[in-house]
A and B are shown apart, each in its own frame.
Chain A
Amino acid sequence: QQQVKQSPQSLIVQKGGISIINCAYENTAFDYFPWYQQFPGKGPALLIAIRPDVSEKKEGRFTISFNKSAKQFSLHIMDSQPGDSATYFCAASRSGSARQLTFGSGTQLTVLP
């Protein structure tokens, strides 16, 4: 019930292309879905987050698409740049859970110049 499944495990995209990472969850009580970005040697950093009352959230080149009925959400990176090369984690939490996040397994993104 607490699991968040993330795919793909790794992704290689050409500069300027679109990167898409997908996550699926089982617990319908989840009500907060953040994405974290991690560079080598650094801790994960919050990138963008969405709540289930909206289907899409956009911040610059980063967009979260959310499908409540399918219990899926995805991260789209438009015009991908080499500087976007990092590991991306999706996560989920629910109200009353004392802010405990359940993380996906991570996607290693490589953007080729």
Chain B
Amino acid sequence: DAGVIQSPRHEVTEMGQEVTLRCKPISGHDYLFWYRQTMMRGLELLIYFNNNVPIDDSGMPEDRFSAKMPNASFSTLKIQPSEPRDSAVYFCASSWAGATGRGYTFGSGTRLTVV
């Protein structure tokens, strides 16, 4: 398995533009998580899905953020309009309910810079 695949790896955009981050979880995993990592706040859980259904989006900072999971193999995190304070590394992670270790597998992240 290729692991959790995120795209793009780097994104530079101007303030006010729409940004879409993409994630392909590991096949067979039924949980998908979106995290944001910054120096100031560390790893923050934004939203997670179970079987493509959003379960908890309480970590989504504002209405400018939205996430979808139209099928088991694809999820998007959208920021519209983007702001400089959204600059961070965004990670997608997936896991499997049946895994005894309950560990997550993270993607390599998308480094977002909003100028």
Contact = CB atoms under 8 A, between A and B. Distances in A.
A103 B42 contact: yes
Nearest to B106: A43
A44 B103 CA distance: 11
Contact of B101 (A44, A49, A89, A106): A49
A98 B51 CA distance: 12
B106 A49 contact: no
Interface residues of A, number: 19
A99 interface: yes
List the 7 closest A-B pairs by CB distance, nearest first: A43-B106, A46-B103, A103-B43, A105-B42, A44-B106, A43-B91, A43-B108
Please classify the interface of chain A as helix (H, G, I), strand (E, B), loop, or mixed, using the class held by over half of its residues.
loop
Of the four ranges (under 10, 10 to 19, 20 to 34, 35 or more), the interface on chain B belongs to 20 to 34
Interface in B72-110: 91, 93, 95, 97, 101-109
A49 B104 CA distance: 12
A32 B104 CA distance: 12
Nearest to A44: B106
A103 B33 CA distance: 13
A94 B92 CA distance: 21
28 contacts: A34-B101, A34-B102, A34-B103, A41-B108, A41-B109, A42-B109, A43-B4, A43-B106, A43-B107, A43-B109, A44-B91, A44-B104, A44-B106, A45-B105, A46-B104, A49-B102, A49-B103, A93-B102, A98-B31, A98-B48, A98-B56, A99-B31, A99-B102, A100-B48, A101-B45, A101-B104, A103-B42, A104-B42
